[in-house]
Amino acid sequence: MSEVEPRIRGQQAWHRLTRRAFLRSTGLATSLTALSGLSAVPALTSEGASGSAPFLSEDDTEVLTQIVERMVASDASGAPPVRETGAIAAIERLLQQLDPSLTQDLPLAIRLFDWGPIVFDFTFTRFVNMDAEAQDESIRCWMSSRISLRREAYAALRNLALLGYYSQDEVWPGIGYRGPLLKEGVGS
Amino acid sequence: MIVSLSERGGDLALTADVCVIGSGAGGAVAAAELAEGGRSVVVLEQGPHWAARDFSQREDEMLPKLFEEGGMRQTLDGAVQILQGRNVGGSTVHNLCYCFRTPDAILRMWREEHGLEELTPEALEPSFARVEKELGVVQIREDEVNELNRIARRGAEKLGYSGFVTKHNRKGCVQSGYCLLGCSYDAKQSMLITYVPRADAAGARIYTGARVARIEAPGGRMKRVVGHAIGPDGSLRGSFEVKANVVVLAAGAVNSPDLLLRSGLANGGGQVGENLHLHPSVIATGIFDEEVHGYRGIPQSYYIDEFIDLESDPHSGAILMPIIEFPGMAAATTPGFGRAHSALMRDYGKTAGLLVLLHDQTSGRVRSGDSLSKPSIEYELEERDAQQIAEGLLHCAEVLFAAGARQVLIPYKPEPLMLERGDDITEITRRGARHGQLVTASTHPQSTCRMGGDPGSSVVGPFGECHDVEGLFVADMSVFPTSLGAPPQITTAMFGDRTAHHILENWKRFTT
Ligand SMILES: Cc1cc2nc3c(=O)[nH]c(=O)nc-3n(C[C@H](O)[C@H](O)[C@H](O)COP(=O)(O)OP(=O)(O)OC[C@H]3O[C@@H](n4cnc5c(N)ncnc54)[C@H](O)[C@@H]3O)c2cc1C
Ligand code: SF4
């Protein structure tokens, strides 16, 4: 029985990153939007992260955190601030558990998002150094860019952010979701 | 006997009379009927075997366990998300239990336009009856209609639109609302608790974590099926081969054509993977002043059929169905970001969704992709279908406003259209619903190995046997000759039953 399908684990080096590969990686999270499909994701529960090496570096995590903060606007909504929820840990866990061929280019997307204002929008300030209003403006540039790669990156990070945040139990009371019925003892 | 190949690991060689690939609506029925009919049956299912206790009602935990490509299956251009099951019981484990027989008008069209004279309601009656009995199909009671569905009904009735409370396949339902994430109460009569245990009891050998990679039929006669034992993360744990006289392929309308194409089989007419229909659907979300909590109770019980009249036009139309998403899904499928998005999410408990599901004429195609786990799916909504979606969304908005919604959100990308009560809703038809313009999903891919009398324009004949390969049958949603225009699980199961009985009645032919 020789017909064994080789499993492609993500070993792609940075220098080999193609636009296509980048689009695919962003397609990962784009697909998280799927009507009911936005699923995709191994448990985003609020347990601690697993013992394996972090998927994102500290710097990337900070950029991602700021992206999530602006995507969910938790400062303005009266909802729990992102840093007080398990959202970022949950996203990290998700990235660790997904097939690497799907996630391998995501760190690059995050870095591009950070440097995007300088590279694409001539604003001379990195995303992480902007105030909230400028960050929102920068996100809008990604969202409505004529470059499809930028729109895809927006979609990827947006969906990751929203899924990670709204999967957290702490967020549910503020949006009127009562959570699993099993928690109420029905059938447990 | 249900054995996890992922846990067992290593290589495996088996022989059987019949090898069934996939354990969803088509495969499970075929396996049970064949095993009970005295044939030795091996079932190969790529996904795991979950039980009620595994269904935690958390979308973050369940969605990745239940769906193909971890829920990330989508068309090549990312415009349509496609949900299909990947576990014992297939998509029936997380479907929403609407139960409909194949509409008479569709059967008539299949007979008249696809050379399938055999498909009369009378000829199919025994199969439908057996399937409905086993799945416990009954009328949903009035007291089981939840607030989400009452809203849709209120709006439709105010406008004089035709609609009705449907049948379903639930027994002892506690109305939790979590059907989409698997039933924690064993109330949903999915394949997982009906036909799969029957197949098991009748002696079928059911292997999970068993992903078929190729079917071999040298000289047009079935020989064997080969594949890999895979872990939950897709890692390889071993290989298997199953020698069988007959193979029933029921891997769903994306994977079945992919397997045939990879195997170089049954494609004499060049039709394998062609004619893909999706029943594409788009959700309009109504926001109400009062709490709806539409995620509690039976998710779908009402059905608006005002905009589909298959008797006068079996080729087009749209259905409106109530729908609710859990918060993570709802957040990701609501376009936009930041304060506006967050304000919308604060109203989550006050929302009621109504989706337009299109009886589509657009034809896409499935091709083999980079790997077995990721076939390539091409589909671009044609103008006429786009127009029908826009009109359907307009009617969704009408119904939701008539039911008392203060706002209705239409999921245009990248920013949604928010209509206030009193706004001109024809803005929707003005904007239209061009391919890729709206958040769109499909839970019903179909027709990629279509049935027909003419080998030049179809893949299988009237009983599901491939025109080109004796003993190779297809028995899943891919055999639908056209878009069905109705919820498909009962039609799929009916084809599974019919194919199995045909094999049993003609068994001698496959042994000589
Ligand atoms: C969210 C959702 C809601 C739905 N709601 C309804 C509803 O209310 N009413 C209704 O009538 N229909 C509904 N449906 C559709 C219904 O569930 C399907 O019509 C039906 O399950 C299709 O049956 P199938 O046999 O074609 O495929 P599936 O049931 O999807 O089964 C295919 C099986 O094959 C397995 N498989 C695939 N490839 C391989 C391989 N290479 N090797 C081994 N195994 C493989 C898969 O893991 C899967 O288990 C819904 C579907 C979804 C996704
Ligand atoms: S609504 Fe009924 S069938 Fe659906 S998950 Fe809850 S108990 Fe099960």
Locate the chain A residue with the closest alpha carbon to B234: A7
Q: What is the pLDDT of residue A187?
A: 56
Q: Which residue has the higher pLDDT, B221 or B156?
A: B156
Q: What is the pLDDT of residue A153?
A: 86
Q: Cα separation of B49 and B200, whole Å?
A: 13
Question: Cβ separation of A37 and B63 shorter than 8 Å?
Answer: yes
Locate the chain B residue with the closest alpha carbon to A175: B346
A144 touches chain B (CB under 8 A): yes
Ligand 1: lining residues by beta carbon, under 6 Å: A 36; B 21-27, 44-47, 83-87, 90-92, 94-98, 180, 210-212, 250-253, 255, 259, 300, 443-444, 476-477, 487-490, 492
3-state SS class at B289 = coil
Task: Give me B144's structure tokens.
Answer: 């089981």
Q: What is the pLDDT of residue B336?
A: 92
Question: Cβ separation of B213 and A44 shorter than 8 Å?
Answer: no
B214 touches chain A (CB under 8 A): yes
Q: What is the pLDDT of residue B78?
A: 83
Facing residue for A70 by CB, picked from B235, B338, B347: B338
Q: What is the pLDDT of residue B130?
A: 98
> Across residues B416-436, what is the average pLDDT?
97
| Pick from A136, A49, A153, A27: nearest CA to B78 | A27
| Pick from B198, B89, B195: nearest CA to B135 | B195
pLDDT at A4 over 60: no
Facing residue for B70 by CB, picked from A39, A151, A182: A39
Task: Give the least confident one: B70-79, B183-192, B490-499.
Answer: B70-79
Structural domain count, chain A: 1
A42 touches chain B (CB under 8 A): yes
Task: Give the least confident one: B59-68, B80-89, B406-415.
Answer: B59-68
pLDDT at A167 over 70: yes
Question: Whole-number mean pLDDT of chain A?
Answer: 73
Please give, rounded to a whole number of angstroms, the shortest distance from the CA of B125 to a CA of chain A. Answer: 34
pLDDT at B263 over 70: yes
Q: What is the pLDDT of residue A102?
A: 65
Q: What is the pLDDT of residue A29?
A: 34
Q: Quick one: which ligand is closest to B187's CA?
A: 2
Question: Cβ separation of A79 and B180 shorter than 8 Å?
Answer: no
Please give, rounded to a whole number of angstroms, the shortest distance from the CA of A122 to a CA of chain B. Answer: 23
Q: Cα separation of A164 and B19, whole Å?
A: 41
Q: What is the pLDDT of residue B174?
A: 97
Question: pLDDT tens digits, residue range B104-132?
Answer: 999 999 999 999 999 999 999 999 999 99
Residue B387, phi-psi category: left (phi > 0), alpha (psi -120 to 50), beta (remainder) = alpha
Q: Cα separation of A108 and B411, whole Å?
A: 29
B200 and B206 Cβ atoms separated by less than 8 Å: yes
Q: Cα separation of B500 and B250, whole Å?
A: 12
Question: pLDDT tens digits, residue range A19-59?
Answer: 343 334 333 333 323 222 233 333 333 333 334 678 899 99
Residue B152, phi-psi category: left (phi > 0), alpha (psi -120 to 50), beta (remainder) = alpha
Going A81 to A82 to A86 to A87, the CA torsion angle's sign is: positive
> Across residues B79-106, what is the average pLDDT?
96
Q: What is the pLDDT of residue A179?
A: 92
Cα A55 to the center of its chain, rounded Å: 12
pLDDT at B285 over 50: yes
Facing residue for B339 by CB, picked from A4, A76, A186: A76
Task: Give the least confident one: A123-137, B62-76, B453-467.
Answer: B62-76
Q: What is the pLDDT of residue B462?
A: 98
Domain span at residue A80 reads 18-44+59-174
State which H helix or E strand residue B412 sits in.
none
Q: Which of B91, B259, B372, B489 to mutate to test the pocket of ligand 1 (most atoms within 8 A of CB)?
A: B91
Cα B68 to the center of its chain, rounded Å: 12
A106 touches chain B (CB under 8 A): no
Q: Cα separation of A108 and A130, whole Å?
A: 20
Task: Give the least confident one: A101-110, B139-148, B154-163.
Answer: A101-110
Q: Cα separation of B338 and A77, whole Å?
A: 9
Q: Cα separation of B91 and B489, whole Å?
A: 9
Please give, rounded to a whole number of angstroms, the shortest distance from the CA of B470 to a CA of chain A. Answer: 23
pLDDT band at A152 (very low <50, low <70, confident <90, very high): confident
Question: pLDDT tens digits, residue range B301-316?
Answer: 999 999 999 999 999 9
pLDDT at A6 over 50: no
Bridge partners of residue B286, in order along the sequence: B352, B408
| Pick from B354, B350, B335, B440: nearest CA to B393 | B354
A35 and B441 Cβ atoms separated by less than 8 Å: yes
Residue A182 belongs to a domain:
no
Q: Cα separation of B240 and B198, whole Å?
A: 24
pLDDT at A13 over 70: no
Question: Whole-number mean pLDDT of chain B?
Answer: 96
Q: What is the pLDDT of residue A55?
A: 86
Other C-beta atoms lying within 10 Å of the C-beta of residue B104:
13
Instruction: Of A67-71, B68-72, B330-334, give the range with the top mean pLDDT.
Output: A67-71
pLDDT band at A70 (very low <50, low <70, confident <90, very high): very high
Task: Give me B361's structure tokens.
Answer: 């004429």
**Alpha helix segments (H runs only) across B202-326:** 252-263
Bridge partners of residue B371, in order along the sequence: B374
Residue type, A9: R
Please state, in angstroms and as integers, the Cα–Cα distance from residue A139 to each residue in A113, A132, B418, following that order.
8, 11, 21
Q: What is the pLDDT of residue B232?
A: 72
C-alpha B92 to ligand 1 mean position (Å): 6
Residue A127 belongs to a domain:
yes
Q: Cα separation of A181 and A186, whole Å?
A: 6
> Across residues B320-347, what is the average pLDDT?
93
- Chain A residue numbers with beta carbons less than 8 Å from the beta carbon of B262 are none
Q: Cα separation of A105 and A120, whole Å?
A: 19
Residue A53 belongs to a domain:
no
Give which of B72, B326, B439 to mutate to test A binding, by max A Cβ within 10 Å.
B72
B337 and A71 Cβ atoms separated by less than 8 Å: yes
- Under CATH, which number does the domain B2-68+83-97+100-136+184-274+446-510 receive? 3.50.50.60
Task: Give me A183's structure tokens.
Answer: 């928690």
Burial B10-26 (b: 16+ CB within 10 A, else e): eebebebbbbbbbbbbb
Task: Give the least confident one: A160-174, B253-267, B286-300.
Answer: A160-174
Q: What is the pLDDT of residue A114?
A: 95
pLDDT at B512 over 60: yes
Task: Give me A83's structure tokens.
Answer: 């840093």
Q: Which of B53, B99, B143, B178 to mutate to test the pocket of ligand 2 (most atoms within 8 A of CB)?
A: B178
pLDDT at A61 over 80: yes
Q: What is the pLDDT of residue A101?
A: 63
Task: Give the least confident one: B56-70, B174-188, B320-334.
Answer: B56-70
Locate the chain A residue with the closest alpha carbon to B296: A181
Q: Which residue has the higher pLDDT, B241 or A119?
A: B241
pLDDT at B44 over 60: yes
Q: What is the pLDDT of residue A37?
A: 28
Bridge partners of residue A92, in order along the sequence: none
Residue ranges per domain, chain B? Answer: 2-68+83-97+100-136+184-274+446-510, 142-168+280-442
Phi, psi of A95 (to 5 degrees): -65, -35
pLDDT at B318 over 90: yes
Question: Cβ separation of B234 and A136 shorter than 8 Å?
Answer: no
Task: Give the least confident one: A74-83, A178-187, B107-116, B502-511.
Answer: A178-187
Q: What is the pLDDT of residue B479?
A: 98
- Strand-by-strand arrangement of the B138-139 sheet: B98-99, B167-168, B138-139
Q: What is the pLDDT of residue B383?
A: 96
B233 touches chain A (CB under 8 A): yes
Task: Give me A66's structure tokens.
Answer: 């700021």
Query: What predicted TM-score, i.e. pTM, was given to this entire model?
Result: 0.91
Question: pLDDT tens digits, residue range B414-425?
Answer: 889 999 999 999
Q: Whose CA is nearest to atom 22 of ligand 1?
A: B25
A91 touches chain B (CB under 8 A): no
Q: What is the pLDDT of residue A48?
A: 33
**CA atoms lying within 13 Å on the CB side of residue B391:** 14
Facing residue for A1 by CB, picked from B11, B60, B62: B11
pLDDT at B58 over 60: yes
Q: Quote the strand ranges of B22-153, DSSP E.
A: 41-44, 80-82, 98-99, 138-139
Question: Cβ separation of B283 and A39 shorter than 8 Å?
Answer: no
Task: Give the least confident one: B319-328, B364-373, B476-485.
Answer: B364-373
